[in-house]
Chains A and B, each alone.
Chain A
């Protein structure tokens, strides 16, 4: 599968005018995002996520390194017609109505009538923006409505690749869940989504792959499933003769009983067959073998802490 985003050694440094020191906002970052995947870009505040996205969009310029977006160098104007961006805290022209805002952005994509009006309607409906709000000035919109119009404007050109920077931050739980659903739907349509977020449960639910950066450096990248999968399993069983508990203990599997069921909380995968054989040999019945999973939040915290959290 082709890379939608390919970054090689991207670096961005700023000079602190007061201390005359160089600040590396992004430090030798290399990664690839494949076409059609929903990719999570994780990091603490100030880790360099927004700086990276802004470089990919040509809003700021890399100090070193290069990147390709949809096969073209960053800043290529032709590529911009196939990508979209929802900035963190999307700002709009407050006096414009929702419809006029969409119309303005559609014109920037050179979408002419009648297709323009059709696309505007479709996008506003896709983000579940109440039709009564379409003709109201944005200054009267709630945070959730602003994010909806933000995503709608990002969809106006039916993009192949979307950059979403903290799209669900600051939303109430209902708006949050709805926005997450919209992002999932966008991913289902085969579009590539580059999602920068602090909402790790959202990322875990929506992203097939993630990258974690810290102080501008890439710490890890991989499939969400691989990163969250643990290296131990839990075995639950019932029955078994009186000597089973001792046999399990001798095999290194501590057993605990609860509500009539026995549970071995942590078994190395290499020992699973031996343990199952012991249980069955003692006339016990294995009821569940569940691999341990870590949450993405645990993975994130562990990874960042190992790298030095301060």
Chain B
């Protein structure tokens, strides 16, 4: 009950943030205007529209997740609202989980809103519901779940500005998993060690990018459902570990 109360308050607080609403409006407008850029590639207008839609959802989702993740806990400390919350019978882990879930609900609402518009635009353009796109939207959401957990973890000890660059930086590096994986076979030992450390320690955000496979069906994945479930499990387990670390750090933090 306590965790959900904090999550609900966080969601409501985040949905009042103008910057997030502006991001959502701009993203929805870009998705809605997607059909108008189909002329750039008349033969593959559908692929362009799908690619644009998923890219916009990813980019907006990324900004919304980072801006939410870096703010939810530091803002409480900065505004001193944390005093009235943690002086109540609230365990610190309940506070961290509540803040994470509130941020996650915010990201879910935003991505779901963009996704609904995206599926609607595709339905209008193609005459059928492109349900396979839901997989791409879902994968973006779980990618953002992992990124949100990472930002929450950093927010327990880093300032929002430092956290912003850390989260963004690791997201970019984590998206280069194909590169780091290929470097694991490099002849140079040092390169192999560094690539290995980066590949295994940093969340593998690249695994969630299934846009190419969706947009270009010729790319074969043996079993899409298994692939998706594996990635969801990866996101959930990795997020749980990050949240556990966040709780351990925050439990010792003075507010």
Contact = CB atoms under 8 A, between A and B. Distances in A.
A16 to B, nearest CB: 16
Given A95-B16, A110-B2, A84 B87 contact: yes
A91 B80 contact: yes
Contact residues on A (Cβ < 8 Å of other chain), bracket: 20 to 34
Contacts of A59: 82-83, 86-87, 254-255
A78 B255 CA distance: 20
Contacts of A105: 84, 88
Interface string B77-110: 0011111111111110000000000000000000
Contact residues on B (Cβ < 8 Å of other chain), bracket: 20 to 34
B12 interface: yes
Given A107-B5, A110-B1, A110-B2, A77 B84 contact: no
Contacts of B90: 80, 108
Contacts of A96: 9, 12
Given A80-B89, A87-B84, A95-B16, A60 B255 contact: yes
A58 B83 CA distance: 10
B13 interface: yes
B87 A57 contact: yes
Contacts of B9: 93, 96, 104
Contact of A85 (B2, B83, B91, B255): B83
A111 to B, nearest CB: 10
Contacts of B91: 77
B81 A92 contact: yes
Interface residues of chain A: helix, strand, loop or mixed (majority)? loop
Interface string B1-28: 1100110010011001000000000000
B84 A85 contact: yes
B83 A77 contact: no
A244 interface: no
A101 to B, nearest CB: 9
Nearest to B94: A108
A83 B87 contact: yes
A90 B84 contact: yes
Nearest to A106: B5
A134 interface: no
B88 A80 contact: yes
Nearest to B4: A107
A153 B9 CA distance: 16
Interface string B42-83: 000000000000000000000000000000000000011111
A225 interface: no
Contacts of B6: 108
A141 interface: no
B81 A91 contact: yes
Nearest to A137: B16
A95 B16 CA distance: 7
A75 to B, nearest CB: 10
Interface of B: 1-2, 5-6, 9, 12-13, 16, 79-91, 254-255
Interface of A: 54, 57-61, 77-78, 80-81, 83-85, 87, 89-93, 95-96, 104-105, 107-110, 153, 157, 163
6 contacts: A57-B87, A60-B254, A61-B254, A80-B90, A90-B84, A91-B84
Given A83-B87, A110-B89, 13 more contacts: A57-B83, A57-B86, A59-B83, A59-B87, A59-B254, A60-B254, A87-B83, A89-B80, A93-B9, A93-B81, A108-B5, A108-B90, A109-B89
